[in-house]
Chain A
């Protein structure tokens, strides 16, 4: 019974409700579909707005609003779908630069009711090859893209800003980073990194920028750039709770080129200044009336459109009119960069009273757009140079007269790049270390020879005198007799016989005053008188001793020697 009643009620409900439901209005649904091919940097974004509504509801396409502003829709088609109609419209948004964006809801009135689409994220990519790659793992978005502000082709001295932009929707702790654009080869870093963190929509951004200056010519491939990290969330207790896995973002390599300055047409005064249009001026900051040795202070001012701050100082010392006439200061010049003008202050001392002006200074720079050199000359500055310590009194200055056949022009001194003159002199001597040494005994220290030589003579003379005195003491008067007694007591065949006889004879000669020294040699005796007799006797003995003719009888030798001894009498003149 009950079941029957329930069944009947259901049927009645179905029979009533269904028709009624058809009568009740159904809410419209709005979706937006972005065209992928239009999601490129600089390209207007195209999208389709699809509205599913009942047939009775009219779409008021003029009521479409985007960010509070009317949105122009272009009707594409209507298509029947279960439950209603799908009306499709096309609309266009303005082009965006590459990046991640969130499309806000678009509202439209359908059947008198306002309906809106839901928010959705979309990405605008690069038009060029270096398309940043987005790595998303699940809901985590982590992206890196290179920043190159300025140019990609440089000349040495030109500056640019390089860097990276990291985009993420989740805290990420970096575990590895390879960002070569922040210190690229061939470039010099200027200053430190500039880091900026900010949020845009639902994404967080971190931009790292570095100013660089091109240095070395070459073609450089920088990258690829990679950053890897671990996503985490902060807990209530301010601790990190790491999520599973790592995220990696990668950017393709970037090609940079630093061109070398062309050699053709390079002026001698060029030393690296670069710019589109530069100006150059020289201002005398000191008195124009000085003495020789005092200094002129010049301010070289460089301004214009170019790399002013790093513009190098022109080489003044070697320009025509300066070598040999002006002496630069030993102190490096002061350089000031202010209000877009570079001031270089130098001191120059004039070396001659014939200087009448500070010559024109040439400044050359390279125009990278025209790829050609420009040269600017400053105006000469009239000055007056007086001789040293003359004060400010006016004196008659000597005028240099021109020698015939020699005309003075602005370029008395050759330009730096000019071919040098032929060598007119003989070449150098090949030197060795011996050429650096003074000649042996060729210095005044050789005068010490006098002192040491004199000392040597004195010492020798003294030694000689002492020796003689000692020997004189040894052979005092009466020694000849003592020696003779020793001879008498010599055993027969004694080898000392001849030497003792010789000694005894000399002792006798000495005692009797015939000789001044008892140690004379036989050949030193004269040939006449008793000395001659002794000399001959001693020679005979020597001959007999060494010739081997036949030995003399020692007894006869003794007796002859005795006779000779006895014949030696005191010399009358002593």
Chain B
């Protein structure tokens, strides 16, 4: 008879992997059920015969999607959850929130449907699309062409390749490999620099969810910069804050600067 003796480390690794595997499976199963329920409620809302039924189903679907958003933090995903939430808000006639979520989705996904629905929501809300302004940082960081998760992925892969290739050259003298590793390092360094510059100096945008006046100062006592209040759904560039974050300094349409209450804005 042979006795099989396993090292305690191996036992720990195997059991830990097993437990993690079961946990991940259960979590994914739970998410799968919620996703299906939400989709079914959304479909029922689309097929509803009365306004009351439609509102009921879409509200329930929104609740489930909101739970998923809180649980899974879709900022680094493919943006489909944001798009679905945007759709649900649209169906409930909450156009500013629909615009907000469509914009979040468009930062992660270039699907044409997102842009179409965004345009429809803007029309409904009476909010104009902002003028496209791309500064140096946006171009340098490649934000115009690639989403944040994509840039992080490319950075990770290039850095990893650079490390692997350079590791090989430590043990074997291969000039070509060394040149290739330097190239990958350069690319990853460039992407990293772009990420850092965007984080510190990048443009931050927000969506107005209530109609507000653009004021000359951080208080309701100040006069309005514009003749008419800004429509809900308007996109503003946030450049500062006042009064412990209660008021935000914003730029509207590249040339109009003013202040709006922070509670009326939602950052994209």
Contact: A388 with B76, CB < 8 Å? no
Q: Which residues of chain B have C-beta atoms less than 8 A from A429's C-beta?
A: 80, 83-84
A428 touches B220 (CB 8 A): no
Decide: A431 and B84 in contact? CB cutoff 8 A: yes
Q: In chain A between 77 and 133, which residues have their CB closer than 8 angstroms to a CB of chain B?
A: none
Chain B residues engaging chain A, CB cutoff 8 angstroms: 28, 31-32, 35, 38-39, 42, 46, 48-55, 68, 72-78, 80-81, 83-84, 87-88, 90-91, 93, 113, 116-117, 120-121, 149-150, 152-153, 155-157, 159-160, 162-163, 166-167, 170-171, 173, 192, 210-211, 220, 228-229, 261
Q: In angstroms, how far is the closest chain B Cβ from the Cβ of A68?
A: 70
Q: Which residues of B contact A419 (CB under 8 A)?
A: 49-51
Does A417 contact B228, Cβ atoms closer than 8 Å?
no
A418 to B49, CA, bound (A): 8
Q: A439-B77, A449-B159 are in contact. Are A432 and B35 (CB under 8 A)?
A: yes
Q: Are B77 and A438 in contact (CB under 8 A)?
A: yes
Q: Which A residues lie within 8 Å of B77 (CB)?
A: 435-439
Q: What chain A residues lie within 8 Å of B120 (beta carbons)?
A: 424-425
Is the beta-carbon distance between A446 and B152 smaller than 8 angstroms? yes
Which 3 A-B pairs rank lowest in CB-CB distance, beginning with the nearest?
A442-B149, A441-B156, A453-B163
Q: Mark A450-471, 1 if CB is under 8 A from B, else 0.
A: 1001101100110010000000
Tell me the bound Cα distance from A276 to B159 in angstroms. 81
Distance A141 CA – B261 CA, assembled complex (angstroms) = 84
Interface size, chain A (Cβ < 8 Å): 50
Q: How far is the CB of A323 from chain B (nearest CB, A)?
A: 8
* Cβ-closest chain B residue relative to A435: B80
Across the interface, which residues of B come within 8 angstroms of A431, CB to CB? 35, 38-39, 80-81, 84
* Contact B159–A453 (Cβ < 8 Å): yes
Q: Which of B87, B150, B170 contacts A457 (CB 8 A)?
A: B170
CB of A426 within 8 Å of the partner chain: yes
Q: Which of A344-365 contact B (CB under 8 A)?
A: 351-352
- B84 in contact with A420 (CB, 8 Å): no
Cβ contact within 8 Å between A449 and B163: yes
- Given A425-B91, A436-B77, A453-B163, 18 other A-B contacts at CB below 8 A? A351-B210, A352-B211, A414-B51, A419-B49, A423-B46, A425-B87, A426-B87, A429-B84, A432-B32, A432-B35, A433-B28, A433-B35, A435-B78, A438-B77, A439-B78, A442-B76, A442-B156, A450-B192
Measured between C-beta atoms, what is the minimum distance from A453 to chain B in Å? Answer: 4
Given contacts A417-B51, A425-B116, A431-B39, contact A449 B156 (CB under 8 A): yes
Residues of A within 8 A of B121 (CB): 425
**A268 vs B157: C-alpha distance when bound (angstroms):** 60
Provide the bound-state CA to CA distance between A89 and B136, in Å. Answer: 124
Q: In whole angstroms, how far apart are the Cα atoms of A531 and B55 in the complex?
A: 86
Q: Report the separation of the CA atoms of residues A352 and B229 in the bound assembly, to the nearest whole angstrom.
A: 13
Indicate if A76 sits at the interface (CB-CB under 8 A). no
Return the contact of B153 from the options A435, A441, A450 (Cβ within 8 A): A441
Alpha-carbon distance between A443 and B75 when the two chains are bound, in angstroms = 9
Contact between chains at B50 and A461 (CB < 8 Å): no
Assess whether A416 is in contact with B149, with CB atoms less than 8 Å apart: no
Are B113 and A426 interface neighbours, CB within 8 A? yes
Is the C-beta of A340 less than 8 angstroms from some C-beta in chain B? Answer: no
Q: Is A440 an interface residue when CB atoms closer than 8 A count as contact? A: yes
Q: Could you name 6 residue pairs across A and B whose Cβ atoms are closer than 8 Å? A: A426-B113, A431-B84, A441-B156, A447-B192, A453-B163, A524-B173
Centre residue among B46, B52, B54, B162 by max chain A CB count within 10 A:
B52
Complex: A268 Cα to B159 Cα, angstroms: 63
CB distance from B228 to the nearest CB of A (A): 7
Kindly provide the distance from the CB of B247 to the nearest chain A CB, expressed in whole angstroms.
12
A460-B167 CB under 8 A given contacts A435-B80, A440-B153 = yes
Bound-state CA distance A547–B50 (Å) is: 90
**How far does the Cβ of B184 sit from chain A's closest Cβ, in whole Å?**
11
* A456 / chain B contacts, CB cutoff of 8 Å: 163, 167
- Closest residue of B by beta carbon distance from A463: B170
Report yes or no: A438 in contact with B76, Cβ–Cβ below 8 A: yes
**CB–CB A442/B32 < 8 A:** no
How far, in whole Å, are A534 and B196 apart by their CA atoms in the complex?
Answer: 54
Q: Which residues of A contact B117 (CB under 8 A)?
A: 425-426
C-alpha spacing A439/B151, complex, angstroms: 11
| A390 proximal to B (CB < 8 A) | yes
By beta carbon, the residue of chain B nearest A398 is B229
Please name all residues of chain B whose beta carbon is closer than 8 Å to the beta carbon of A426 when the two chains form the complex. 87, 113, 116-117
Q: Which of A501-554 contact B (CB under 8 A)?
A: 524
Q: Kindly list chain A residues whose C-beta atoms are within 8 Å of the C-beta of B75.
A: 438
With A and B bound together, what is the CA distance between A324 and B67 in angstroms? Answer: 23
Partner of B76, one of A430, A432, A443: A443
Residue from A387, A450, A464 within 8 A of B220 (CB atoms): A387
Q: How far is the CB of A405 from chain B (nearest CB, A)?
A: 14
Q: Is the CB of B54 within 8 A of A436?
A: no
